[in-house]
Amino acid sequence: METVTVSGVQLRLTPPDELDWRWVGRGELKRQLLAAWMVLDEADYPLSPRLIGKPGVGKTTLAAATAKAIGRPVYVFQATMDTRPEDLLVQPVIAEDQRLRYVASSLVSAMIKGGVCVLDEGNRMSEKSWASLAPLLDRRRYVESVIAGIKIQAHREFRMCATMNDDSSTFDIPEYIHSRLQPQILIDFPERDEELAILQANLPFADAQILHYLTVFLQRAHEEDEPFTVRDGINIARYALKLGASGQGRDFRETVRRATEQILGEDALRYLPDRPVDP
């Protein structure tokens, strides 16, 4: 594990996430995020936007794929209702030699290495945790760890965004943080061709007829404002294919129906097409 010294305190850094992040279609969203992260002058500083949408529409993927497009390492911090300020910044641990060590969070590691931090599901965090990030989100660009007794300045290449689910199981963001998390980038359901392309990119081994069938299912659900997303479509397809491979179904519609019911519930079955959809 890489270590660095900040104001005389040694920090162990958290490694970046190394997944193969790919964003399919909707290039305008990627351009909006890149614009927010742009720096135009020495007196300028990057913005820290919030990406808003229903769970499963690709907010984290958009942020991580955009970071990869500009050649920056990606650090994803998963926020929860229990996230504390020290979880966001620096935590003390007892090492093998019984000495105290300090471990930098993925956010602080991104700050030090000049990476991109995606604060995932940020509106699940309490105000106390958000308050520790206030100076990072304006032109000061630093955080202060009370536990380690140090102030950590962000690398000039550091970028950040927060994803926020559009649902009720979240906290209200305090206004002084809300005004710092700008702009707001809304990620809605994709159009039919884009949704099909996403399914194809994630399921290159799936039969085209299944993917077209599920694309129609998702588009029907979107029209009725159901919360089903392409992530649900991917999960249904994966499970249906496994059911078919294990001999639990006569044709793909039977396995898709069973997978849909087990993943989304019986009410979702009304959106499945009555007949196969031609590719």
CA pair distance 179, 201, nearest whole angstrom: 36
| Closest by CA position to 191, among listed 166, 168, 222 | 222
| Closest by CA position to 27, among listed 70, 60, 76, 62 | 62
Can you give the pLDDT at residue 169? 57
| Closest by CA position to 211, among listed 24, 11, 65 | 24
- For the segment 247-269, the average pLDDT, to the nearest whole number, is 88
Q: Per-residue pLDDT for 96 more than 90?
A: no
pTM of the complete model: 0.86
* Residue range 100-157, pLDDT digits in tens: 889 999 999 999 999 999 999 998 998 999 999 999 999 999 999 999 899 999 999 9
Question: By percentage, how much of the chain surpasses pLDDT 90?
Answer: 72
- For the segment 5-23, the average pLDDT, to the nearest whole number, is 90
Question: By percentage, how much of the chain surpasses pLDDT 70?
Answer: 96
* Residue range 62-79, pLDDT digits in tens: 999 999 999 999 999 999
Count CB atoms within 10 A of the CB of residue 52. 18
